[in-house]
Amino acid sequence: MTTPAIHRVIRLDLAVRPWRWAFADERRREIDAHFAAQRVKTPALWNGRVLLGRNRRFDGGCFRADYFETDFASFLAWRDWGFPDKDVFNGFGMGALRGSDGQFVLGEMAATTANSGRIYFPAGMSDPCDIRDGKLDLAIGIIREVSEETGLPRDLYRADPCWYCVDSGHSIAVIQLLDAVLPGQELRARIVRTLAGQAAPELSAIHLVRDRRDFTAAMPDYVTAFIEHVAAMAV
C-alpha cells in the first residue's frame, strides 16, 4: 500500500457547489440495495446528507477543493466497492487530541457505527450543516465531533493554526492538532466517564498512543502516518 502524502497548509478553501454525481445516479438501485443490506447488519445506519470532494489542489500553503452534496448510501457503496470513481475523494476533518505529556488520544468506534472497531481521532464526514457562505468550515465540525464523541469542553485544548492534509488518494484526512492542558491518562479517564453516561456512545474504548510501538492494525494508515510525521517534526 502506498504511504499517504502529507501536506502542511495554513489555509483551507473548500467551495461547495451543486454537482450531479454520475455514480450515484447510474447505480441508484444497486446503491439502495446495498444500503438496505448494511442496515440489516447495523440498524443504526442513517442515510443522511454528506459532502464529498473533487478537484483537489495544494498550492501556496493552501488546500483547495470543490465539494458536493450526496447521500450517505452512495458514499457507503462507493467506499465498500473499492472507490470506483477515482475523481472523487472523501475529505473530512479530524481533531488530533494530544495530551500535555505528548500522548495522543484515539477512540475505538462502537459496533453500532459504520466503522466498527476502527481506532482514530475524533472525526466525522463532512456535513452540510458546516457550510458557511458557500464554503465548508472543517474547524466547526471538528469542535462538534470532539464534544459529541468525548464530552471534552473547548477550553480544554488549543487548536494549532496549521492543518495536516493526509492524502491517500480516495480520502484526505484534514487533521488539526489539538493540544490539551491535561495529560493523556486524565483525558482518557474523563472521556470514559462521559461514555459511561451516554445511552448510545459512538466510542467503545479509548486508546493512548505515543509512537509507533502503540500502533495496531485497527488504526488507519492516515492516522499512523500523521503521528509519525508529527514525531519526526519534533526531533
Q: For residues 37-64, b (16+ Cβ closer than 10 Å) or e, as one string?
A: ebeeeeeebebeebbbbbebebeeeebb
**Burial (0-12, 13-18, 19+ Cβ within 10 Å), 4:** buried
Q: Where are the domains of the chain?
A: 5-234
Tell me what pLDDT residue 44 has: 87
CATH number listed for the domain at residues 5-234: 3.90.79.10
Tell me what pLDDT residue 64 has: 98
Tell me what pLDDT residue 1 has: 55
pLDDT digits (tens, 9 = 90+) for 180-208: 999 999 999 999 999 999 888 999 999 99
pTM of the model: 0.94
Torsion of CA 228, 232, 234, 235, to 10 degrees: 140
Residues of the chain with pLDDT under 50: none
Tell me what pLDDT residue 171 has: 97
